Copies of this chain bind each other. A is one copy, B any other.
Amino acid sequence: MKVFLSEEEIPRQWYNLAADLPTPLLPPLGPDGNPVRPEDLSPVFPMNLIEQEVSDKRWIDIPEEVLQLLYQWRPSPLHRAVYLEKALKTPARIYYKNEGVSPAGSHKPNTAVPQAWYNKQFGIERLTTETGAGQWGSALSYACALVGLKCKVFMVRISFEQKPFRKLMMNVWGAECVPSPSTETKTGRDILEHDPDTPGSLGIAISEAVETAVADTTGKTRYSLGSVLNHVLLHQTIIGLEAKKQLAKIGEKKVDVVIGCAGGGSNFAGLSFPFVLDKINGAQIDIIPVEPTSCPTLTRAPFAYDHGDVAKMTPLLPMHSLGHEFVSPPIHAGGLRYHGMAPLVSAAVVEGLLTPKAMNQLKCYESALFWARTEGFIPAPETSHAIAAVIDEAVKAREEGKEKVILFNWSGHGLMDLKGYESYMEGRLTDYPLPEEDLQKSLKSIENLPKPKVAKTGRW
């Protein structure tokens, strides 16, 4: 069972949680420990996106041209998971937004497309970015093809070699994709000189992408990031805003539980932030970001100031962080292996608005398989974390005999991730709960950084 919205019914504004957090967001800090000013970011991002990044306006208009571009796959359908409900014999009603319908197969184009459009408006001709497993790199490649920008993706070398299909998607959309570290940047060359066989890392790839953007002396190149930052989460809120309209359309007045998987935080925020607003205004809703036990940023790491990358090229962000030197175990949910978490999601956790949970890999694959055999659509490994939590909540509702309404974000399909399913079905996978001593060791990298003071400070 599905609910569509017509294009005329699409939300025309994004929702900015920064406007409603009881305690205002803390500013990012520069290397000198002082707040970063918007103009400091201008070599990296175009000014129109920096304005969104620092905005405290509650509603931000979606330009008509961006809506036209989003119509290529949005509004996305809201499904009711009737087959899962039946299989679980739960009285809960389970709804999900199917973000797998986008050309790239995930929620990522929701921000890739506006980012490409704003860059184009600003006169930019080329975007650079990094990608791990390739979800973000392919989404940005698609967006650049759509609006007419060049696109260069630095893909973590081990993924570049192990996941050739994601690279091929980028090529099909006309983007250039090189393994990172590459010989094209100083960062890359330095690393290759010392360690020619390095598998690469997201931290290195970010550094290469930023270096490439900043190095273009014509000023026509910028960098683009697929999660964590405020403007990225802002663009994703169209998911939750659509969901609200769809639920209203079928007469669902009240949502009890909202769930999304959380890596950098963007798909979770996209669905949940409009409901966080309801919660701030007094509604009773459990809002659950779900992360892997192997990378327990929200459930076990402190709220701190930390760098977004290993090479410490980014400003210090106020966020939950396992430490920028954290190396995640090789779980298949590559999108959930980030050491930090979006500042807006972190702040909402600090405010007590969210109830984070962590899930083991095997339970997630078990849930993904159960899902595929009831609801049909094969989920991405990241999405399976949300599904595992949904099943727990549905079983709880059955045990309590409660007719709960559960809403979650089906963030993407797993058609490019079938190797992980194969390993699971053949019994070759394992769990990687993070040992306490590894956590403590990793947290040492943030020990000497400035500490956030959670107080009613001003904005940047």
Contact = CB atoms under 8 A, between A and B. Distances in A.
Interface of A: 1-2, 4, 6-7, 68, 71-73, 79, 83, 101, 103, 105, 142, 145-146, 164-165, 168-169, 171-174, 369, 372-378, 415-416, 418-419, 421-422, 425
Given A2-B7, A425-B171, A376 B418 contact: no
Contacts of A168: 418-419, 421-422
A145 B372 contact: yes
Contacts of A101: 101
A111 to B, nearest CB: 15
A173 B71 contact: no
Contacts of A73: 376
A336 to B, nearest CB: 20
A173 B103 contact: no
A172 B376 contact: no
Contact of A369 (B4, B172, B377): B172
A271 B83 CA distance: 29
Contacts of A142: 376
A378 B374 CA distance: 27
B373 A173 contact: yes
A193 B422 CA distance: 31
Contact of A71 (B2, B171, B419, B421): B2
B72 A378 contact: no
22 contacts: A1-B7, A2-B72, A4-B4, A72-B376, A73-B376, A83-B146, A101-B101, A142-B376, A145-B372, A145-B376, A146-B376, A164-B418, A164-B422, A165-B418, A168-B419, A168-B421, A168-B422, A171-B425, A172-B421, A172-B425, A173-B373, A173-B376
A337 B68 CA distance: 38
Contact of A372 (B71, B173, B416, B419): B173
B145 A373 contact: yes
A418 B378 contact: no
A376 B105 CA distance: 11
Contact of A172 (B1, B164, B375, B378): B378
Contacts of A378: 103, 169, 172
